[in-house]
Structure 1
């Protein structure tokens, strides 16, 4: 089973000084061509700082993000699960995972990047800036990624639990036998969708999976595991409704 996360706009600096981006070492080899196309377009764009800031929809405070993109192919790398930071990734604490948890993540966690497409959790990548709604000159991210990612996901032997935002799901639709996770809050009287705690809930859910490392071969297995953990999960057509409070409880 694969748990598919969206990326984060924020990235950790640094990495192994002797390592640089190696396209051939990334998971999902069928995505090599669009990855190289996106990376080349991003590096070209980075030569014009003002144009980059407009395309990336960032202000002067984030001007250094353009430099990250310019040095994309020469920067040190980190495992993807360590590179991303923020509300969804901080609960995972990837840099502190033990060997068993890291191995489980390598087999069961993937991340959907606007730049690299699908990534394995331990794929080594540099810091960069590119979001699903960024505008690369001459490259439509949706046109670039939709078909290759759909095919790559469909080729997986394992079912996909889709934790992405709807915006990223549009960049690469998951196969029909996947399930989309919808996070809600329940105050006892009604349920409503979440924004900020939506990301934290998904990250914490993955953290709990990494701590327990269950043997899962189907969506039903995941639902059973979740309920054994006290997590409220309600299957619906094509999706799983998860109650945030049941995941985030102390």
Structure 2
């Protein structure tokens, strides 16, 4: 099983790991594109104003340019610890024990705009780059989607195991899922106390982080979609196939009354 997570705009500073080593990252077929994108980001960082424009930075985000200038020499940390924000706060990688980390290393990947798919314990530096950033690459000025999509899709197509996609649409486009029965994109919906169900926006990240944590703790060893859905039902999670003919799964979570969009501390119904 492979769980696919989005990255976050915010990232933890520092790290105790040695500088970025592309050849040590998971999904080695992505190495040529990684090298091209890293080189382009470092080159862009030499021009502060161009970086601010390309990365759509505000006045208080100028330090992000220095992060990018130092990508190849900066210290690293494990991907699940590098990323911050709602999803990663809910996942709480800092409290995972060694056995949980072993599971995460095998079953969780993050979709980086800089490095493509990386493993949960891959050593990555702090950086600033989004799925919609534009860089001058060897093949011309193009979107990252155009540069990453084919290589990312091929990397996922090499796998025949269960794929559970928790990425946002923009990051999912950097490595599209293969068209097969055991590859699922997950939509998060919320049910209020009157039973009404609606799409969940910002707080869908919290639900995804909590679900990922639960899957890691249970071993994330499901071989089939049926096994995953059976586990979810047994554990009290409302996870089921969408009824629109797609292969998407819907995760329905409860809301706290009087605070629309705020999830309860648990996903269980």
TM-score for the superposition, normalised by structure 1: 0.95
Which whole-Å deviations, capped at 9, do the CAs of 1:46-98 have from their partners, x for residues lacking one? 01111111111110101101100000000000011110010111111212211
Matches within 5 A, 1:39-118: 39-118=38-117
Partner of 1:171: 174
**Relative contact order (alpha carbons < 8 A, sep ≥ 6): 1 or 2 greater?**
1
Tell me, in whole angstroms, the C-alpha distance in 1 between the residues paired with 2:31 and 2:222: 29
Partner of 2:161: 158
Question: What's the offset of the Cα at 1:203?
Answer: 0.6
Aligned: 1:231 with 2:237 = yes
- Work out whether residues 162 and 222 of structure 2, in 8 Å CA contact, stay in contact via their aligned partners in 1: no
Deviating beyond 3 angstroms after TM superposition, the runs of 4 or more aligned structure 1 residues are 246-250
Tell me, in whole angstroms, the C-alpha distance in 2 between the residues paired with 1:101 and 1:242: 23
| Greater mean deviation of Cα atoms: 207-216 or 167-176 | 207-216
TM-score for the superposition, normalised by structure 2: 0.89
Question: What's the offset of the Cα at 1:159?
Answer: 1.7
Which whole-Å deviations, capped at 9, do the CAs of 1:98-148 have from their partners, x for residues lacking one? 110000001111111111000110110000000011121234211110100
Aligned: 1:14 with 2:20 = no
Tell me, in whole angstroms, the C-alpha distance in 1 between the residues paired with 2:94 and 2:207: 19
Tell me, in whole angstroms, the C-alpha distance in 2 between the residues paired with 1:21 and 1:9: 19
Question: What's the offset of the Cα at 1:15?
Answer: 0.8
Partner of 2:259: none
Q: 1:147 is matched with which residue: 145, 150, 159?
A: 150
| Greater mean deviation of Cα atoms: 73-82 or 163-172 | 163-172
Partner of 1:134: 133
RMSD of aligned alpha carbons? 1.4
Number of residues of Structure 1 aligned to a counterpart in Structure 2: 249
- Work out whether residues 201 and 248 of structure 1, in 8 Å CA contact, stay in contact via their aligned partners in 2: no
Which whole-Å deviations, capped at 9, do the CAs of 1:154-207 have from their partners, x for residues lacking one? 101312101011111122211112101000011134211111111110011111
